[in-house]
C-alpha cells in the first residue's frame, strides 16, 4: 500500500521506460520519522497534533519522565497514522552524546514480514 504522497513522489521512469521499484520499508521508516519530527504547537499555544514534542527549551536533558510520556504518545500516533505497521512499540534509548542524549527505538512488524524489526529514529530535539 502506498499513501498519496508516496504515489505522487515516484521518481520519473528510467531510459528503459520502467519505473523504479517502490521500497516500502524505506517509505514506512520515513513516515515514522516524519511523525516523530512533528512539533506539537503551531504558534504560541495552539496544539497542532496531540503527540508532538514540546519545544526543546522546555525539555531538559534529564527529563526522562517527559521523554517516556512522549514515546507513549508517539506509539499511539504511529498506530493511528501508519496502518502498514502492526505490533508497534516505542521505547527510549539513552545515548552517550550529551548534545543528543535520547533516541527512540520503534519496534514493529513491517508489511510482508513475520518478525518485528527495530528502527532507530532521532528524538525531535
The alpha carbon dihedral of 2, 76, 99, 42 has a sign of positive
Q: Is the pLDDT of residue 33 over 80?
A: yes
Q: Indicate the fold that domain 21-122 takes in CATH.
A: Nuclear Transport Factor 2; Chain: A, (3.10.450)
Q: Residue 85: name the closest of 31, 122, 36, 49 by CA.
A: 31
pLDDT tens digits along 62-113: 677 778 888 888 898 899 888 999 999 999 888 787 777 778 899 999 988 9
* Cell numbers found for residue 99: 548534545
Burial of residue 41 (number of CB atoms within 10 Å: 0-12, 13-18, 19+): middle
* Structural domain spans, the chain: 21-122
Q: Residue 51: name the closest of 65, 69, 64, 33 by CA.
A: 69
Amino acid at each position: 500500500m502506498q499513501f498519496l504522497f508516496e504515489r505522487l513522489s515516484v521518481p520519473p521512469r528510467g531510459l528503459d521506460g520502467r519505473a523504479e521499484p517502490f521500497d516500502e520499508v524505506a517509505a514506512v521508516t520515513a513516515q515514522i520519522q516524519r511523525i516523530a519530527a512533528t512539533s506539537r504547537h503551531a504558534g504560541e499555544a495552539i496544539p497542532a497534533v496531540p503527540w508532538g514534542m514540546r519545544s526543546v527549551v522546555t525539555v531538559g536533558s534529564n527529563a526522562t519522565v517527559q521523554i517516556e510520556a512522549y514515546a507513549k504518545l508517539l506509539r499511539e500516533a504511529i498506530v493511528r497514522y501508519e496502518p502498514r505497521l502492526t505490533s508497534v512499540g516505542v521505547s527510549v534509548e539513552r545515548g552517550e552524546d550529551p548534545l543528543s542524549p535520547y533516541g527512540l527505538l520503534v519496534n514493529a512488524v513491517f508489511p510482508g514480514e513475520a518478525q518485528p524489526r527495530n528502527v532507530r529514529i532521532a528524538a525531535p530535539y
